Structure 1
Amino acid sequence: MKILSFLDPLITRWMARNGIRFLRYSIAFIFIWFGALKFFPGMSPAEELATNAIAVLSFEILPAGVTLPMLAFFEVLIGLLILTDRWLRLTILLLLVQMIGTMSPIVLFPEIVFETFPYALTIEGQYIFKNFVVISAAITIGATARGGRLDPEPG
């Protein structure tokens, strides 16, 4: 037990020093990868759902052939900005705007999101609902925009 009481503060301090950075890298990786897939027709499993959601949200003003590359660029840009740790507040705002679109099928296409409303999700629904973790991560990352840090030993 003595070794645990020695290791616990060391591990906790390491997590406090590195947790936000790893969170940034993880979110950046997701946005860059998922966004990049959308540049290649047929590669993203979310392609059809994203295109349909954008069509409804834009009142079909944007041509279908333009929306997916625009979304791909937007997602990769968000990932790169999170990775560089510059303009963090703007980046978090862009991410949250993108998340509104990503989460919109819950309301727009519940028959695609739920196998049995409101508790049994389809694979598309699971893909969408995991974004609550992304939103929470963005909020946590945003809390450090002005130099905030995790404190391993508060008070």
Structure 2
Amino acid sequence: LTAPPARRSIALPDLLNLWIARKLLIASLALTFFWFGILKIAGVSPVVPLLKATFPFMASDPYLSLLGLFEVAAAAGLIISKLRRVTLAFVICHLIGTLSIIVIAPHVLFAPEFPVLTMEGEFVVKNLILISASLVLLLDTSDR
């Protein structure tokens, strides 16, 4: 018989660093979704032309405002610890949905062609970072 693997103890400064990093991820995701949502609700979001090119019905009310409300609600859900895990799952699904533009309207993302990104392409590709940050928080077991 072999002994179970030894559990590595984590030093207090490392735990503090992990705690701070986790809180910063939560706060930055919440701020991002709040900001994006408020701009949609106010009707001044710079993403409207991108929506018109891909999902035209989403580019006007009531759908644009509903999308904005979802994003503001997601921001609140990220801050409220009891709602965080389910919110993160919804956020990940939402962000994966935004990547569908790669199939629906690649001409909007690449100019003159792949792999050169347009401004809209950069906007969409940054969602990979938001998805990754959301996954890190969702899979984190330190708050269970």
Pairwise mapping of residues 49-60 of structure 1 onto structure 2 (< 5 A)? 49-55=50-56
Name the structure, 1 or 2, with higher relative contact order (CA <8 Å, separation 6+). 1
Q: Verify: 1:36 aligned to 2:33, yes or no.
A: no
Amino acid at match of 1:115: A
**Partners of 1:63 and 1:111 in 2: how far apart?**
18
Letter in 2 for 1:67: Y
62-71 or 32-41, larger mean C-alpha shift: 62-71
List runs of 5+ in structure 1 lacking aligned partners. Answer: 1-8, 149-155
Q: Describe the superposition over 1:29-74 as per-residue Cα deviations: whole angstroms up to 9, x where unpaired.
A: 0000011100122x2111232355344xxxx6x7942110010011
Aligned to 1:97: 93
Q: In the aligned structure 2, how far is the partner of 1:118 from the partner of 1:79?
A: 33
Query: TM-score, normalization: structure 1?
Result: 0.75
* CA shift for structure 1 position 135: 0.3
* Equivalent in the alignment of 2:20: 18
Q: How far 1:146 sits from its partner (Å)?
A: 6.5
Instruction: Give the TM-score normalised by structure 2.
Output: 0.81
More deviation, 26-35/103-112: 103-112
Q: Distance in 2 between matches of 1:63 and 1:127?
A: 16
The one-letter code matched in structure 2 to 1:134 is L
> Which stretches in structure 2 are left out of the alignment for 5+ residues?
1-10
DSSP-derived class of the 1:121 partner: coil
C-alpha offsets along residues 98-154 of structure 1, whole Å, 9 cap, x if unaligned? 113322222111111111432110001001100101000000111236726xxxxxx
Written as runs of structure 1 = structure 2, the 5 A alignment for 1:6-155 is 12-41=14-43, 43-55=44-56, 64-144=60-140, 147=143
State the aligned residue count. Answer: 134
